[in-house]
Amino acid sequence: MAPNIRDIARMAGVSVATVSKVINNYPHISPKTKEKVMTVIKDAQFMPNSVARGLVKGRSMTLGMFLTTGLVHPFFVHILAGMEDSLKESGFDLLYLSQVNWNPDYSFVRHCMSRNVEGVVVFGFQRFDLNLDELVQSEIPAIFIDLDMLGKKAGYVTSDNVDGIRKSVRYLKEIGHTRIAFLTGGLESYVGKLRFEGYKQGLADLGLPYLSEYVYIGDFSRESGIEATQKFLSLDNRPTAIVCSSDMGAVGVIEAMKEAGLSVPGDMSVIGFDDIDIATHTVPSLTTIRQDTFGIGQNSIRLLLEIINNANCPPPTMIVPTELVVRDSCAPLA
Amino acid sequence: MAPNIRDIARMAGVSVATVSKVINNYPHISPKTKEKVMTVIKDAQFMPNSVARGLVKGRSMTLGMFLTTGLVHPFFVHILAGMEDSLKESGFDLLYLSQVNWNPDYSFVRHCMSRNVEGVVVFGFQRFDLNLDELVQSEIPAIFIDLDMLGKKAGYVTSDNVDGIRKSVRYLKEIGHTRIAFLTGGLESYVGKLRFEGYKQGLADLGLPYLSEYVYIGDFSRESGIEATQKFLSLDNRPTAIVCSSDMGAVGVIEAMKEAGLSVPGDMSVIGFDDIDIATHTVPSLTTIRQDTFGIGQNSIRLLLEIINNANCPPPTMIVPTELVVRDSCAPLA
DNA sequence: TTGTAAGCGTTATCAC
DNA sequence: GTGATAACGCTTACAA
């Protein structure tokens, strides 16, 4: 059985309070007793119980994380790695809160309070998801990933989705394209909407007209890439390039082009979004917009700790830059 | 501020003890008081503080998870999804314990005890990793993923790596191959060793000879696939098929074959291991061994809860079956 | 500089 | 059936 603070006190011949003061590095402790207590602690391998400590201090040194159930987001590992990086030196651990979604009056807020978490990261949700409002309006520090939720203690971090797509459009224009089509992602999602916005702005930046027949409403999937391509190919005035809201969509486009006996990038330039592993391995390899997923994870925790540590800082927000990765799926227009 | 049990007691006009009994569904409570207390609890949105509860009960309803620092395992999301599935109805939450690896006397065991976790899942470590022994020999229930650690309270879950590779070898034999080469993964890793073992057993099953020149010692990477291919192609008596310990290795093989002006599967059949996303998108698409990563996650938590709930069950072990996924990278031998 | 003792929010053991 | 009250392991006034 692990020793507790009373055992240590007894072994060191001092009071519990003294041990506590040593542990917490309080002043007014004689070097001699401090030394003695430290020795005993080392020998007994004592480590204060952070649960009990949390109870009295009102601080648990625990952050919470809500993930959408059944989320299978390919980047999540990178985000987690980033989170860990910020967590490492902070003394906080991260509690993955599994939602009891069969319970009609389950509440994020109550789950947080019952677990005494000092703040939460929220990822994989949509704006209209149940109970999210309650969380945003609560006093619980929260950072949302990829969702622009703002509250007294709630902020968010996301990639610069708008600028990412604008970069794609600009790049295509630079290599001569003007008939640039767009495959949206799911428009019910925050990032889906932003990327669509980026397309419109990108065209506007360059003085290109917005044509609704050059837009296909998709859902981030490979299938929607295939369907979009079929639609675009049937047009009288075919586009010469397609900007996609996801790499999977772009993969679908490449497949459909191949199926139609046409060449990428010869007959159609294609740009993806995300830079997933597959992007390197398609034929041709995929030019795409890379998200700094590690950075997103890292900053989500960093910002959360900021809210927690500065009682009245305004809820922080962070837009993480993206990067255009040029590979082989785009060609200059002849 | 969230109400506590005393507030509820006062509001319901009963004692704290009574409220506690209601919360915990104890007998010997009149239906009337029970009803009244329940109503107050609902109205006040009361949820017992599980930290305080943990302190007195000696149970925290928390499981821990150790991941190797900076792990970027493509399957981790699926494993986590599986874990969540088992966690969901259990009342447990999962605490991601960030290791303080700059501290020379950091200890998994102490971290667990200080956080009162009731058990841990360990993933991404190698047998010789520091402090792991201490954990295995401790009283803390532990389930290792992909590492055959056994202790009084420690078991493991992993894919059937041996059988997976044996299936590959058998399949190739069935379509006519007898000169079957093998690309190992990192042999310092547990799964790397097992897959190598599977190759040898696979040959033995079929009465095929084991030839050391048909084995390339790699490390799961694409690069080692390229190098292996170059070596195999330089042989007098070239193999007609290569079994790889990873899909990335197989991707390297396909690239190197293309580079050499040879065809897959025409000149060489190739089998991978893992069924990562890319496997569908290589040209040709990759025949491979699929791991049930969701099942691994699911069972890791299930087994852990078993150890926790049955004081003296022998440490459980689980080998999750794999599945051969036939795509286009293998062809019958002419 | 050190020790005593009252909490933190629960549950469990008794009396009543 | 119900209610005091002592724990659980720790921190923190305050007293000594």
In contact, B221 and B186? CB cutoff 8 Å: no
- For B36-61, the pLDDT digits (tens) are 999 999 999 999 999 999 999 988 99
Q: Do A92 and B110 touch (CB under 8 A)?
A: no
The pLDDT of residue A70: 59
C-beta of residue B22 within 8 angstroms of C-beta of residue B38: yes
Q: Which of residues 248-277 of A touch B (CB under 8 A)?
A: 251, 276-277
Contact B289, B273 (CB under 8 A): yes
Q: What is the pLDDT of residue A26?
A: 92
| Interatomic separation, CA of residue A17 and C1' of nucleotide D16, rounded (Å) | 14
Report the distance separating Cα B245 and Cα B216, nearest Å: 11
pLDDT of residue A77: 87
Task: Decide if B19 touches A, using CB distance below 8 A.
Answer: no
Q: Would you call B187 an interface residue with chain A, using a CB distance cutoff of 8 Å?
A: no
Please state whether strand C lies within 7 Å of residue B116 at its CB atom. Answer: no
A129 vs A100, A122, A188, A221, B37, CA distance in Å? 14, 12, 11, 22, 31
> Any CB–CB contact under 8 A between B60 and chain A?
yes
Gap between the Cα atoms of B16 and B191, Å rounded: 54
Q: Which nucleotides of D are covered by protein (CB under 7 A)?
A: 1-5, 7-13
Residue B77 in contact with partner chain A when CB distance is under 8 A: yes
Q: Residue B86 CA to D14 C1' — how many Å?
A: 49
B6 touches strand C (CB under 7 A): yes
Query: What letter would DSSP give residue A139?
Result: S
Nucleic strand C near CB of residue B5 (< 7 Å): yes
Cα-based torsion angle of the residue sequence B117, B123, B125, B127 in order, rounded to the nearest 10 degrees:
80
Nucleotide nearest the Cα atom of A114 (by C1'): C9
CA distance B213 to B216: 7
What average pLDDT does the structure give for chain B?
A: 94
Residues 19-78 of B with CB under 7 A from strand C: 19-20, 23-24, 46, 48-49, 52-53, 55-57
How far is it, in rounded angstroms, from Cα A268 to Cα A250?
Answer: 11
**Structure confidence at residue A255 (pLDDT):** 95
Nearest CA in chain B to A61: B115
pLDDT at B69 over 70: no
The whole-number pLDDT of residue B334 equals: 78
Render pLDDT for B278-334 as a digit per residue (tens, 0 to 9): 899 888 999 999 999 999 999 999 999 999 998 778 889 999 999 999 999 999 997
- B70 vs A52: CB contact, 8 Å cut-off? no
Q: For the purposes of burial, counting CB atoms within 10 Å of the CB of B267, is it exposed (0-12), middle (13-18) or buried (19 or more)? A: middle
Residues of A within 8 A of B48 (CB-CB) are 114
Query: Which among B5, B43, B47 is the top mutation candidate for probing chain A, defined by the most A β-carbons within 10 Å of its own β-carbon?
Result: B47
Q: Does B103 touch chain A (CB under 8 A)?
A: no
Q: Return the SS3 of A262.
A: coil
Q: How far apart are CA A253 and CA A256, in angstroms?
A: 5
Confidence band, pLDDT 50/70/90 cuts, at residue B103: confident
Q: Does A7 touch chain B (CB under 8 A)?
A: no
Nearest nucleotide (CA of B116 to C1'): D9
Q: How many angstroms separate the CA atoms of A288 and A330, rounded?
A: 10
From first CA to last CA, the distance across chain B in angstroms is 76
Q: Which pLDDT score, from 0 to 100, does residue B128 have?
A: 86
State mean pLDDT over B82-87: 94
Q: Tell me which amino acid residue B210 is.
A: Y
The pLDDT assigned to B71 comes to 60
Extract the tokens encoding A321.
Answer: 């830059």
Nucleotide nearest to B34 (CA to C1'): D1
Report the pLDDT value the prediction gives residue B129, as an integer from 0 to 100.
84
Each residue's pLDDT tens digit, A162-190: 999 999 999 999 999 999 999 999 999 99
Contacts of the segment A150-153: beta carbons below 8 A, 24+ positions apart: A150/A315, A150/A317, A151/A315, A152/A315, A153/A119, A153/A307, A153/A315
Which tokens is B100 given?
Answer: 């303080």
Q: Which residue has 């007793």 as its token pair? A: A33
CA–CA gap between residue B281 and residue A232 (Å, rounded): 23
* Complete DSSP assignment for A169-213: HHHHHHTT---EEEE---TTSHHHHHHHHHHHHHHHHTTPPP-GG
A277 with B67: Cβ contact below 8 A? no
Closest partner residue to A114 among B47, B81, B102, by Cβ? B47
Which residue blocks in chain A are alpha helix, DSSP H? 5-12, 16-23, 31-44, 50-57, 76-87, 108-114, 132-137, 161-174, 190-205, 222-233, 247-259, 293-309
Q: What is the pLDDT of residue B100?
A: 73
CB atoms within 10 A of CB A1: 6
Report the alpha-carbon distance of residue A273 to residue A325 in Å, rounded.
10
- Ranges of chain A whose pLDDT falls below 50: none
Which pLDDT value is given to residue A130?
79
Residues 78-97 of B with CB under 8 A from A: 78, 80-81, 84, 87-89, 92-97
Smallest CA–CA distance from B78 into chain A, residue: A72
Q: What is the pLDDT of residue A75?
A: 84
User: Within an 8 Å CB–CB cutoff, is residue B110 touching chain A?
Assistant: yes
For residue A99, the tally of other CB atoms under 10 A from its CB is 19
Nearest CA in chain A to B99: A88
